[in-house]
Structure 1
Amino acid sequence: MRPPVLSAPPCRSRDRQLLRTGYACGSAPWSWCQSWMWSAQVCCDTLGERAHAGNIWEVRAAASAHMTLSISSLLLFLVLGSQKAVSQSSAPLECNDWGESSDGAVQILDGQSGFLSCPLFSHPSVYNYSSSQNTGHNLFWFRVQEGDIEQPITYSTRLSKDRDRLWLQPANASDTGQYICMLRKNTSCCKIAMRLTVLRAEDVPRENRCAPAVAMTPTPEEIPFQQGKLLVCPGALEASKMADSPPTVTWTFLGRNSKDCRQFPLTSPERQLKGPSLQVHIMNKFFQGLYFCSVQYQRKGRTLNFTRAINVSAVTSPNLPKFPKILQPTKDYVFSLKQDEEARLICNALFPHLNSPWEIWWTIDGKTVEQLKDPRFSKTASKVKEDHGDRTEQSVLLIQDFQAEDLRREFNCSVKNNIGNETIRAQLKLEASLPSLELGCGLGVILFLMLLLFIIYHVFWLELLLIYRSWFGTDERHTDDKEFDVYISYARNSEEEQFVLSTLRSVLENELGYSVCIFDRDSLPGGTITDETLSFVARSRRLLVVISPGYASRGSQALLELKAGISGMALGGHLRVILVQYRPVKRQAWVRELRRARVALALVRWQGDKSKELTSRFWKRLRVELPLQRQSGGKDVGLMRLSSQNSTSSQTGLISQTSKSPLDVYNYAA
């Protein structure tokens, strides 16, 4: 596309003033004066001052060529020149200003040779150097100084022009700045700016310490697998034209997965030096990487050098099929979409390596997204991966608020390159919507109930266990021939004895209805203590041991009861031992038998006033460990209480008859 035609920029005040005052070049070089006069003439064209500028131009030209002319001849020449300039002012000069090049700054290493290539010729269809020369255009180089002053380049041994390039041999730090290349003739001009940055070697990032410093971006080069190619160092051919003798080129290789640099020539025959170039005979993946070429040459008695890099990549063979292929969706693939939500139709395609433009796009009813102009439809494109030149591209079609009517539309994904094309129609279906609200509420209620049950169980687990036992538990009185529910073992002549007789026994017998056996109360006088103790323990379903600091001392009655209970629990399994801790007792103070059996024994702690109420945790915990007590009727309760009372009365002589009928027993208990 042809760039827009712009008028000449406004005149700088300095240019206008110099023209009006008849500025003389003086001792300045004529080439500079000529360039400045031309730029000033173009600048002032828009202000109607070209006549005066042309006048001065002719005056200066005549003065330099004919210093001996007379004053009258000079005046006549001025009049003629003025008329000529006025006639030319009717055709304003057109100058196309392309601004600054978008290619970025050109970088050259300090002390190395480099060049600036005029970006005007980067598009040969717009500007061609040879064609422009044939049409009378000349290429000029300027450097922008402070204050936006365009200073013409003075060519020298270090700064020289070669066709469309400005060579710096060598470059130094002071060369950093903005440069302008201008293509012009008498009636038109065009210009473009570029920026040059001269770097120090230590400021240039390197791929590896062994790699030489390179300021310019590596030149990409592709070589097909199992094929060869000749690598020519960039800039070496131009340097050879300006050198006094053939330059020398040194090649260094740094592989992509290697940490060491290798300098040519190498021992392998696959890559060999061929003059200043490098010949790759058979390409494989291990030859991929950076190839550095260092050029050294002589020019007008000076030794110059520069280093360039070539980034070599292996690509698939050109003999393989190059048709584009749609990977997703396949012909059998079905997109499952939700109504009233955003739909994403993904199309992945493979483009084999080919020096050809490629394209991937979606169509809706035969129209692209741009042609459809529906805000509900949009697209995104991205590269998924690239493997040896084969590209996998992705195009995503986004549909906002997908509706059931969209199922009747035709969605096609298409791909093409210079070899061929392919199109696949996407198959759509509505996804069955789950009752998310109802499901979420149901799960929430279930979780809440589970949490509530967990809290209830954690707080009221004893009550729940008692209720469960009352409904599903087994009454041990119907399954064994034991006489007592509980046998209480305690230390005599201690504080625990008062607790056992006044509290523990009273509640168990009178409130809970258990038959309780206390040796000092229920044993008959004159009997053997050992035999009586073993007999009472064997006839009891539970052995309740009240732990105290003086409990189970050697040779005591309590120790005998404990051993009998533990032995009966271990052998028969019908007797269970329950520990009641009335006061805190250190574990070290327990007897050996009690410490050994503690792991298998239940421990219930008395907590003073908090445990006095029958609804306290102590009594609930104790009821869980005691035998199930079903109180289905008053007769059962009366009989259980009477059994314990008979045992007590037999020692005190309250029972006068040893044989009674069941009815009399019930009436007595009532």
Structure 2
Amino acid sequence: MQTGFILTYLMLPVFLEGCCVGGHQKRQSANVDLWGRQLKTTNLHFRAVEGEMFMVPCVNVTGVCRERSKSSPITCGNMFPAKANHSGNYTCDTGGSNMFLFLQVVERSSLGCVDPKESSKILLNAQGGNITCPGRSCMNNSDVIWYKGDRAVSKQRRALCEEDGRLHLCQVREVDTGVYFCDRQIIEQGVIWTFRRAVSVKVIPHYAASYPPKIVDPDANATKEVELGQTYTLTCEVHFPVEIYVPAVVRWFMNYGGNMKNMTPLHMEKPQHNTKIFEECIVIQTAIIEEVTPQHLNHTYTCIASNSVGNSSATISLKKKNKVKWPSLVGYPFVCLLLVTGVVVILHVKWLEIQLFYRSHFQHGKHDEDEKEFDVFLSYVWSPSSAEVEGGATLSFLSGPDNDEEARLSWINPLNIEEGGSIQTPLEVLLPQVLEVQWGYRLCLLERDVLPGGAYTNDVVNAIQRSRMLICLLSADYLCDSNAVFVLESGVQALLQNSALKLLLIWTSKPAKSLIPLEPPLPTMVQRALMVLPSLDWTSGKFSRGAICSFWRSLKKAMPKHREQSWFHA
């Protein structure tokens, strides 16, 4: 008794679902036809119906099929409506060898029996459904292979079966929407043709609507602003519950004087349909008022949407848009004069900074190398540690050529390695060696290259005139030294008079750059120049390979063009 109960329980789904216990569609090998006969893999013969969707499967073909007389090739896996001019003999790329595709597109009227309903099918979600291969009743052969797009339905893991040329889906899902292909094989004059037909399937949640349409835009009793004399578009967006027996209808009406009983239909554009939402269909209906007149402001406009359940409506009115009138400056001479005066004052106050910024960053004249005696005039003030390090500070140079820019920049050691100590070499000691010994620039130092006994001011002005570039090493000691500040001030004046001079500031200590109160105070011209002149930072006590390379690379870029092409002085 117990055994019989178990057998009955196992056999019950078979009687209830028919063939839906599992996927029972025939699986066809790529090299075997529906009757188990061996196929020639070098030739493919396909037949399609004009007007139906068609796709060359990518089972044997892996690329593009071309024919000499056709301007557009056929790519496997791409779906397109078949036309008569698609007929022809194609050569397909299979990734190593050529395969020939023979395609015939036949007229629908030549099929004998034609049922337009077979080319499309509507299925209800969450229920079972059948898809019939078009022309099934006219063909002796009912054996077909079903595809959804380019993938065989038999390879999908779901409950389905194929019987007598029909594909039965045990439970329809939303993803089943799409184009299905059914392939039959026909033998004509010893040639096996694959007759491919297409069925467009749409899955809907229900056949009839359960609620009236919903008008999303416009809001009921809304007011829209319009401009007289301009074109205005009335737009109505409605969400309809999906149904197949009653069309979704949206109309615009004009109500004269706001009287809802005196309504006139408006000329409307073709509605736009959108089905992004599975449960609903979106319809957008527009009506255009070619030119808005004052009479249009006296009427109201109603959008009415209807389906099998009922109607929905939304009414709007139009009002004139008030243009914003900006006050004219011509009508207010005082405001105009005040604006011009403000611009003049700003230019007058900032004129020095503007001149210095432009001349130092954008306008450098070209020199004749023989006109200037020195490449760089270097101005600095000895710090207390400079005298201690100067005598013993040396540089470790690279021997021989080196094409690595990082190596050329990072060998400059800011520490006095030869003395074995950790005394940091001040920049006023290190920089002259780099500029002269390593980079080969002709350097002017007041204590070395200017004869003693002359007037200091004249010596400074002459040295600047004889140099292509002025570099000032700024520190708290420098800005408190009147002679050093005079050099900087003279360089600023020379820059304003001669755009060919380059001027670079190198801050050797951060507190100095913050411009704390100094004694004596800096000249106004110098204070304003410090804010706009090109500058670099040499931060004491923070030396890493990256920081060293960055500083020397920026300095090299700011230097005037070298008289020789090599970096290194012979």
Smaller-chain TM-score bracket: 0.3 to 0.5
User: Which structure has greater helix proportion?
Assistant: 1
Structure showing greater radius of gyration is: 1
TM-score (norm 1): 0.37
TM-score (norm 2): 0.42
1 or 2 for the larger relative contact order (CA 8 Å, sep ≥6)?
2
